[in-house]
Amino acid sequence: MIENVTARSILNSRGEWTIEVTLRSGEWKVTASVPQGESRGSREVVSLPADQAVKNILEIIAPTIIGHKLGDQNNFDDKLKKLDGTPNKEKLGGNALLGVSMAYSRLSALSANLSLWQYLRELAIPSVKNAQHSVLPVTPPRLLSLMIEGGLHAPGASPFQEYLVLPRATTIIESINIITKLYSTLRQLISDRFGSSATRLGDEGAFAPATNDPLAPFALITEASQASGLADKFEVGLDAAADNVSLNPEELNILYDQARMNYPLRYLEDPFKENELDNFVSLLTKFDKGLMIAGDDLTVTNVERMKLAQAKKSINAMIIKPNQIGTVTETLEAVKLAREYGWKVIVSHRGQETNDDFIADLAWGIGADGIKLGAPARGERVAKYNRLLEIEATLLT
Ligand code: PEP
Ligand code: MG
């Protein structure tokens, strides 16, 4: 059972405060820390200032959860939810709840002698709870790696937020070899073309050359792929994060048509603003086959938002971000519903990260179709790549 709870403010990757939670049971002690979004959906749960969230954990949550048994994630998260009691977790803070919920997962996994990803897998697939872990089908999530960024993550660069590559490979290590080779070729190309100062990194570790042409980054990625002999080794993706883009739907549709025509576009996230569902619907009707059209700000890992999106048939994929909803159990409920709808599931980091690598375990655990991680640079991004590799290494031996 939980014997001790502590929480404190720590820094995130943008030099702002976030929270870290520590739970202890006997000699087991674990920590978890919570990321924050920069380009947030308006219906995400409330993230309170770190000092307030810490205070809530110490004064309100701790006395309620001390003594709670381990390995009881659903009831534990339900207790957290009820303690807050608001639909958007504004009383205690979605960040406070999630830090405690994640740490509880880690502690429960440890007490059951499981890796975190195995523990999450058992929660995600209750029907195989008693099966041997080694016989469960385990396939690596496909990487969605950021090469060039703009939008709110690199103001003054390109209008869209994320230009991604999706390696064609069967293992994490092979995928990472492709993206690191491409990333380093791209650095040289951008330096030659825009000057060495243009290789400075955006918030998520990618390059951020200044360009007004929203598709120019794909041209650079294509050129770098040809220069490095990687032309057929990946597809590309785009997170338009359209809520922060000043182009109208007509202009956006033209750009998406051009991107589909000229580049191997496989993934398109938040192509329109979160309240423009009808535009999603017509895009999906046009491109359903062969293109993942994903909700992020649209769906915010929230089953009610997902039901609305499905009622209109507006997307065929979705982003999963635990801190959009605030507990591990609710995150897994969103994953379950996405599967029922036949949507692809992409686990994602946030703009403002910590070194916590929980999402790598989550992606392996739920058998995610993909994981979006930022560039293979900056410690808080690299932590997730390295954890994906670590899990793969244990599976391959
Ligand atoms: C995103 O929009 O997918 C993203 C990672 O950005 P943020 O965390 O800033 O919302
Ligand atoms: Mg997004």
Tell me the CA–centroid distance for residue 157 and ligand 2, in Å. 17
Ligand 1 centroid – CA 131 distance (Å): 36
Q: Is 296 in the pocket of ligand 1 (CB under 6 A)?
A: yes
Which of 239, 299, 384 has most ligand 1 atoms within 8 Å of its beta carbon, as the pocket-test mutant?
Answer: 239
Residue 222, amino acid: T
Indicate if ligand 1 lies below 6 Å from the C-beta of 203: no
**What is the DSSP code string of 205-274?**
S-B----S-TTHHHHHHHHHHHHTT-TTSEEEEEE--GGG----HHHHHHHHHHHHHHS-EEEEE--S-T
3-state secondary structure of 307: helix
Among this protein's residues, is 162 annotated catalytic?
no
**What is the model's pLDDT at position 346?**
98
Position 126 scores a pLDDT of 63
Which pLDDT score, from 0 to 100, does residue 135 have?
42
Mean pLDDT of 39-62: 97
Q: Which residues of 250-264 are buried (b: 16+ CB within 10 A; e: fewer)?
A: eebbebbeebbeebb
128-176 tens-digit pLDDT? 445 444 444 578 999 999 999 998 888 888 899 999 999 999 999 999 9
| Substitution site in 39, 149, 325, 373 for ligand 1 pocket (most atoms within 8 Å of beta carbon) | 39
Those residues with Cβ within 8 angstroms of residue 92's Cβ, 6 or more apart along the chain or in another chain: 48, 53, 56, 57, 60, 61, 80, 83, 84
The predicted structure's pLDDT at residue 137: 59
CA of 357 to the centre of ligand 2 (A): 19
Q: Mean pLDDT over residues 50-70, rounded? A: 98
Please give the pLDDT value at position 134. Answer: 45
Q: Which ligand 1 atom lies nearest to the CA of residue 270? A: 2
Q: Which residue has the higher pLDDT, 127 or 160?
A: 160
* Predicted pLDDT of residue 128: 47
Q: Phi and psi of 77, rounded to 5°?
A: -65, -35
- Average pLDDT of the segment spanning 116-126: 90
- Whether residue 127 has pLDDT greater than 80: no
Residue 235 confidence (pLDDT): 98
Across the chain, mean pLDDT equals: 95
Q: Ligand 1 pocket, 40 CB below 6 A?
A: yes
What's the confidence (pLDDT) of residue 129?
A: 47
- Asked whether 368 and 141 are in contact (CB, 8 A), the reply is yes
Average pLDDT over residues 21-28: 97
Higher local confidence (pLDDT), 137 or 53: 53
**Ligand 1 contacts CB of residue 323 (under 6 A):** no
Q: What's the CA gap between 52 and 180, in Å, rounded?
A: 40
Q: Is 204 a catalytic site residue?
A: yes
Q: Residue 14: helix, strand or coil by DSSP?
A: coil
**How confident is the model over 12-31, as a mean pLDDT?**
98
Nearest ligand, CA 296: 2
Residue 133: predicted pLDDT: 46
- Output 136 or 232, whichever has higher pLDDT: 232
Q: What is the pLDDT of residue 47?
A: 98
pTM of the predicted protein model: 0.96
Catalytic residue among 204, 330, 333, 353: 204
Q: Is the CB of 351 under 6 A from ligand 1?
A: yes
When pLDDT is cut at 50, 70 and 90, the band that residue 281 belongs to is very high
Q: Which atom of ligand 1 is nearest to the CA of 349?
A: 5
User: Residue 221: pLDDT above 90?
Assistant: yes
How does pLDDT run across 282-327, given as a tens digit for each residue?
A: 999 998 788 999 999 999 999 999 999 999 999 999 999 999 999 9
Q: Please pick, among 81, 233, 273, 321, the residue that the annotation labels catalytic.
A: 321
167's enclosing H/E stretch is strand 162-167
Taking the centre of ligand 1 as the mean of its atom positions, its distance from the CA of residue 224, in whole angstroms, is: 25
Binding site membership of 150 for ligand 1 (Cβ less than 6 Å):
no
CA dihedral 117, 123, 127, 128 (to 10 degrees): 20
pLDDT of 35 over the 70 cut? yes
Quick check: CB of 239 below 6 Å from ligand 1?
A: yes
39 lines ligand 1 (CB under 6 A): yes
Q: What is the pLDDT of residues 261-270, one digit of tens each?
A: 999 999 999 9
